[in-house]
Structure 1
C-alpha cells in the first residue's frame, strides 16, 4: 500500500462547501451530536452510516426531501437476502426526477458521431414522458408489465424508461452494441408487453443497421402487444411510430405511487456462461442509493452536467440517467470515445462544459499511448473524473492526475451491476492516492475476509458486505425459490454478501483492489491479483493489452500463461518477453512472473469491457466452448476458438485429457 503523499487533497474551502459536509451536519443535528463529530471526518461518518443503518438511511431520505413516510425503522427486517426497507412508504422514481425542476432548464443533452448536441428541457422531457405514458396505458400496459428497449444512448431511451417507471411497469434495455440474438437472450425471460427499438446507430464512423436484429428480436418475444419504432416506422412492419406516441402536448404526467420495493428495472449480469441473470431492483432502493451515490459521494448538484461514456447495456447508463434525480443534466453520447480521434471524448466534454466525466481505465491508457493531452480543449477541465469498469494502474492514475491538475479530483470506484452502485469509491472530502480507492462508500458495510472467514487488515481478503443495502436485488428474474440469488452471493458465508473481488483494507482507511477472486492466481498457496500484473505490463509502449490466468495442473503443478496483444503490429520476440518479465518483477514481484508469454490475436471481453479471465481459464483446461461462454456476451467470440486451441496444444504436450487439470 502506498506511503506516498496523496495525488489530490481537498481544500478547506472545498470541504466546507461540499454537500456531504452539509449532510453530515444535518445528521449531527438529528442525532443530537456535538460539534464536528461526523462532518469533520469522512471515516467517522462512514462508521456511523454502517453502525446506525436505520439512522443513516432515514437521514438520506429526509435530507433529500423524499415523500412523507410512516413512522418506524428504515430497515424493518435485517436479513440477506430478504431485507425489508421502509415498509408502508410509497414513491415513484419518475415523480422524484421531475419534482421541483425548472421548466426551461436543460434535462438531457444528446450527441452522436454524426450530429451535434441536441438539448431537451425539463418541460420538453416531461411532455414526452407524459405523452408516451398515456399511449402505453392505451396499449394496455399495467403496473408490473415489462417494457423493453433495444436502443442507442439517446433521449428516446431516457423518455421510454421514465414513462415505464411512471406507470409502475418494469423496464429493461439493451444497447445496440448487442445483436438481436443477445438482446433476445435477456428479454425473452421477461415476456415483455412492448418493445421500443431503433433500427440502427453510428459507431466508429460506421452506420450499424439493426433492422434485421429488430425483426429477429420481435420473433423471439411472442407476448408483445406492440412494437414502437424510432425513426422510419415503415422499416419495421406493423410497428407504431415513436414520433406519434410522444407528440401529445396535452398529456398530464401523473406517476403512480408504488411501494418501496416495487420493481423498477431488470439489469442483466455480464456473466458469460449460461442464461444472463436478470437482477430486479426497486423504486425506493434505487432512488435512495443514487441520491447518496451521486449526491454525496460524487457531489453532483442541480445544474451540473454529467457525462459518463456508456451504452444502455451497462449499469453506468442507469447511473447516468439517475443524475436527473439531483436535477443534473444527463449528457448522453452515443458513439466511440476515440472517433474521429482518440481525444474525441475530451473535446466533447470540454465543449459542453461537463462537470463530471466518467470513463474507463482502458480509454485513459489509449489516450496516454496516443499522446493525447487531457486539458486545453475548453475553458476548464471537469471538476471530477470518474473511473470504473476495470483495474486502474497506479502509473496511469499518476499520469491522469498530472495531466488534469489539482482542479480535478480523479474518483476511482468499484461496485457492480448487482447493486447498480459502488461499494468503494471516494467523496469530495477524501484525499486520492494513486492505486487506491479512497474509502468504502457510505452505508456499505465493507469488510475483507481471510481464508478462515474472519476479518483481515493489511492483507488480501474477500470483499464482503456485512449489512443490507437498499439497492441489493429484490430477487433474480425467474428464480422462484431464490436458489440462484443465494448461490450468487451467499453460498460461502451465509447471511454475508460475498462479491467476488480481492481487496486489502489499508491502515489509513483506503482500499486496494486486486481483481476477481474467482480468477485468482494462486501459485504455491500464495494468492495474487491479475491487476497487479496488468499494471506494469500494459504500461509498456509495445503492449496494447494483457490477460493472465492460472490453470491447475495434474500432479499439483500450476500453469500461469500471460497473453498479450502488441501495438502497431510489433512482434513478440525474446527481447520483448524479457522486457515484460523485468517490468513485472519491478512493478509487482518475481512471484508474479508468468510461465509463458504468448502473443494473442486479441483479448476477449464482456460487452461492458471486462476481460474474460475465467472463461479463458476454463478453455485452457479443456472445457467445451459452448459451456464456457455465451457468444452474445462476448465482444469477439471468434477469439475464444484460438484460446481453446492453445489449451488443446498445451494438454497434448502434457498428455492430459480435456476437462482434467492440465
Structure 2
C-alpha cells in the first residue's frame, strides 16, 4: 500500500513539531532528526520531554521535579507547581481575529472577539463568586455547543471550581445520571437547541433536571428561542467587563480538578472521570499545538457536542491563539454537505468530523472541493471510530489531495488522543500515522506480550499527565484501578483493538468492550436499557454496537416482548420514541429484532461483548463457553443472525 499523502520538505520545515525537535536537540544534545526518533526520545525520557514541553510553550516558572515515580496508577506530576488552565487564554488576546465564531444551523454567526471573551469570562466569574462558588465547587452545564458554553467553562475554571457538562440531546434523566453525582452549586443552561431544521424546546427537561439537583443555589439561562423559566439569572444580564486584559485566576495544584467527564455507563451509572488543570493543559498544548500544528493563524472547526471530549479538545485551540468555531446544529442540514459549507464560510483551516459523516457524504454524492471554497483548509481531523481506507481516499479525491487526513484515536479517559496524524509523517489510507509524543503505546496479546502485524490490546506502558486524577466518588481508587489496570497490573489497557504496522502506523479495529459508539458519541447500554425496559411491552432488551468493514456501524436492539405482546411496527415506534426522548435521538437503533431470550453470564450479566464479536465474524465457540451462559440454547439463535451486508 502506498501513502495517500506525503509531507513535502516545506511541510516538514514549517511544522511546529520540527521547531520543537530543534528546541529539544539544542536543550539536550539528543539527535532527533525525524518523528520516530523524537517519539522514542519522548517515551524513554518522560520527565525531560514534559519539562521541555512546559518550557517550549513558556508556561512560566516551575520548581521541583517534573515526575515523581512512573508507577501507575498513582503517578505524581509537577508536585511543587501551582497554575490555572485559564492563565493561558488571555495571553493570546488580539484585535485582528476573533476568539470564537458561534455558528447556528439557521446560518447566523456570532463573532466573539478576544476582548469580549475575556470581559464576559471575568463578568461571569464575578457572578459565580457572588453566588458563593469557589475552589472545588461544581458548576454544571446543560447546553448546546455555543460560545456561552466555552465562556461558562473558562469562568468556572478560573475560580478553581469544577466544570461538568452534557449536551441538550441528552434527556433530563440521562443528564441527571451524570451531573447529579456532583451536587453542583450552579446550573448553566439554555432554553433549547437546533438540530435538523427543528428547534428543540428544553424548558421542561431543565425543570426536571433542576428538581433532581437539590444542591443548586442558582440557574443561569441562555435564551436562544425566547423561552423563560422562573427563578433564573439571565445570561444577557451579564455585562462584559470593559477593557479587561486579564482573567484573574485562583492558582491551584497541578492535579486540582478542572472538569469531570463521563464514561458511557455500560454497566450502571456513568463514571465521572476527573482531570486536573496541569495534565490537561500540557496534553492539549502537545496534541493541538504540536501534533495538529494548530496556532494563531488557524480557524479550528470540529463538529462536536459538550457531551463529547472533542468539545474540550476544540476549546484547547484557544490555548494556542487559534479561532475556534462552535456549531449548534446538524452537519447534514439543510443539505448533506452542510459541514463543508460552514467550513468554507468561516475559512476553516482545520476541520474535524467522524467516519460516519464522511460515509454519509459519500452516499449522498457530495463533492466538497467542487461546490465549496476550501482553499484555506490544510488539515482534516477524523475521530469517533475507525476510518476505512475507502473513505480516506474519498477525502483525498473529493476534498483535496494536498490535505492530510489526521485520523486520531484516544478517549474521554485521557481527554486526548494516543495516536494520530503528524505534519511530518505520511498518511496511509485507513491507518493512523503514529503514536503521539509522550505516549508509550504498544499492542499486547492476552498474555501481556507485544505483538506486531497482528491484532492486540492497546496498552500504555508509562504514565501520561492527562490520565485521570481519579474517578468521582471513588475514595479508595478501586473503580479507577479496575477500569484500566486490572488486566495488566501497572499497565493501562484501554479497551481498543489495534495493529502496529511494519511502517510504524497503527490500525484501530474498534472497541474490545461493549461501549456503544454512535456517530462519534459514546453511550452506555445501561442508558438504553433504562428507557426501553421500562416500557410495559418489553420484558428485556439487548443492544450492541458493532463495527463492521468499510466503516459501517450496526446497532441492533434485540427485544424479548412481554407475555402476550407482538413486536409490531407500532411497538417498535414506541421503543424508538422512548430512546429518542429519554436517552438521545442519536442512539436510536438501526434494527429492532424480536428475540426468544437474552443470554447472560451465570452472574446475570448480558453477553454484550461475546455477541458483538460473534457479529463481527468470530466463531461462536471462541467467543463464549456455553457452560458460562445461563441459557446456552439461545446462542445458536443469535448465531443465525448476521449484520446486513
TM-score with structure 1 length normalisation? 0.80
Flag the 1:276–1:533 CA change in 2: closer, same or farther, 3 A.
Answer: closer
1:47 is aligned to 2:40? yes
- What residue is the counterpart of 1:278 in the other structure? 272
Asked if 2 retains the 8 angstrom alpha-carbon contact of 1:151 and 1:176, the reply is yes
Measured in 2, the distance between the counterparts of 1:617 and 1:127 equals: 57
> 1:419-448 deviations in whole A, cap 9, x for unaligned?
000011120001000021111111100011
1:140 is aligned to 2:135? no
1:87 is aligned to 2:79? yes
Measured in 1, the distance between the counterparts of 2:24 and 2:475 equals: 39
1:482 is aligned to 2:477? yes
1:15 is aligned to 2:7? no
Could you list the runs of 5+ residues in structure 2 that have no partner in the other structure? 516-543, 559-574, 607-628, 636-645
Asked if 1 retains the 8 angstrom alpha-carbon contact of 2:171 and 2:584, the reply is no
Q: State the Cα distance separating 1:105 from its structure 2 match.
A: 2.9
Give the match's secondary structure for 2:334.
Answer: coil
Q: State the Cα distance separating 1:226 from its structure 2 match.
A: 0.7
- 1:252-331 map, 5 Å: 253-331=247-325
- What residue is the counterpart of 1:594 in the other structure? none
Asked if 2 retains the 8 angstrom alpha-carbon contact of 1:295 and 1:326, the reply is yes
Flag the 1:310–1:620 CA change in 2: closer, same or farther, 3 A.
Answer: farther
Asked if 2 retains the 8 angstrom alpha-carbon contact of 1:133 and 1:164, the reply is yes
Measured in 2, the distance between the counterparts of 1:285 and 1:434 equals: 32
Asked if 2 retains the 8 angstrom alpha-carbon contact of 1:314 and 1:608, the reply is no
Could you list the runs of 5+ residues in structure 1 that have no partner in the other structure? 521-529, 539-544, 551-599, 630-655
Asked if 2 retains the 8 angstrom alpha-carbon contact of 1:621 and 1:659, the reply is no
- 1:498-517 map, 5 Å: 498-517=493-512
Give the match's secondary structure for 1:375.
Answer: helix
- What residue is the counterpart of 1:354 in the other structure? 348
- What residue is the counterpart of 1:403 in the other structure? 398
Flag the 1:548–1:100 CA change in 2: closer, same or farther, 3 A.
Answer: closer
Q: State the Cα distance separating 1:628 from its structure 2 match.
A: 7.8
Measured in 2, the distance between the counterparts of 1:250 and 1:222 equals: 38
Asked if 1 retains the 8 angstrom alpha-carbon contact of 2:176 and 2:209, the reply is yes
Q: CA RMSD in A?
A: 2.9
- What residue is the counterpart of 1:639 in the other structure? none
Give the match's secondary structure for 2:127.
Answer: helix
Equivalences, count: 560
- What residue is the counterpart of 2:152 in the other structure? 160
Q: State the Cα distance separating 1:381 from its structure 2 match.
A: 5.3
> 1:99-142 deviations in whole A, cap 9, x for unaligned?
24224531000011124111111111000000010111111111
Q: State the Cα distance separating 1:507 from its structure 2 match.
A: 1.5
Asked if 1 retains the 8 angstrom alpha-carbon contact of 2:514 and 2:545, the reply is no
Measured in 1, the distance between the counterparts of 2:487 and 2:243 equals: 55
Flag the 1:343–1:114 CA change in 2: closer, same or farther, 3 A.
Answer: same
Answer with 400-409 or 339-348: which moved more: 400-409
- 1:627-646 map, 5 Å: none
Give the match's secondary structure for 2:102.
Answer: strand
Asked if 2 retains the 8 angstrom alpha-carbon contact of 1:294 and 1:300, the reply is yes
- What residue is the counterpart of 2:205 in the other structure? 213
Flag the 1:607–1:294 CA change in 2: closer, same or farther, 3 A.
Answer: farther
Measured in 2, the distance between the counterparts of 1:334 and 1:443 equals: 34
Measured in 2, the distance between the counterparts of 1:427 and 1:69 equals: 29
Measured in 1, the distance between the counterparts of 2:547 and 2:306 equals: 31
Give the match's secondary structure for 2:304.
Answer: coil
Flag the 1:476–1:384 CA change in 2: closer, same or farther, 3 A.
Answer: same
Q: State the Cα distance separating 1:607 from its structure 2 match.
A: 5.8
Asked if 2 retains the 8 angstrom alpha-carbon contact of 1:60 and 1:292, the reply is yes
1:31 is aligned to 2:28? yes
Measured in 2, the distance between the counterparts of 1:88 and 1:375 equals: 51
Measured in 1, the distance between the counterparts of 2:131 and 2:325 equals: 31
1:457 is aligned to 2:452? yes
- What residue is the counterpart of 2:385 in the other structure? 390
Measured in 2, the distance between the counterparts of 1:259 and 1:53 equals: 20
Q: State the Cα distance separating 1:289 from its structure 2 match.
A: 0.2
Asked if 1 retains the 8 angstrom alpha-carbon contact of 2:266 and 2:514, the reply is no
Q: State the Cα distance separating 1:535 from its structure 2 match.
A: 2.3
Asked if 2 retains the 8 angstrom alpha-carbon contact of 1:104 and 1:121, the reply is no
- What residue is the counterpart of 1:434 in the other structure? 429
Asked if 2 retains the 8 angstrom alpha-carbon contact of 1:279 and 1:477, the reply is yes
Asked if 2 retains the 8 angstrom alpha-carbon contact of 1:265 and 1:281, the reply is yes
Give the match's secondary structure for 1:202.
Answer: strand
Flag the 1:25–1:657 CA change in 2: closer, same or farther, 3 A.
Answer: closer
> 1:387-410 deviations in whole A, cap 9, x for unaligned?
000121111111111222332111
Measured in 1, the distance between the counterparts of 2:365 and 2:141 equals: 38
Measured in 1, the distance between the counterparts of 2:431 and 2:219 equals: 47
Asked if 2 retains the 8 angstrom alpha-carbon contact of 1:8 and 1:409, the reply is yes
- What residue is the counterpart of 1:112 in the other structure? 104
Q: State the Cα distance separating 1:621 from its structure 2 match.
A: 3.9
1:240 is aligned to 2:233? yes
Measured in 1, the distance between the counterparts of 2:557 and 2:497 equals: 15
Measured in 2, the distance between the counterparts of 1:123 and 1:351 equals: 23
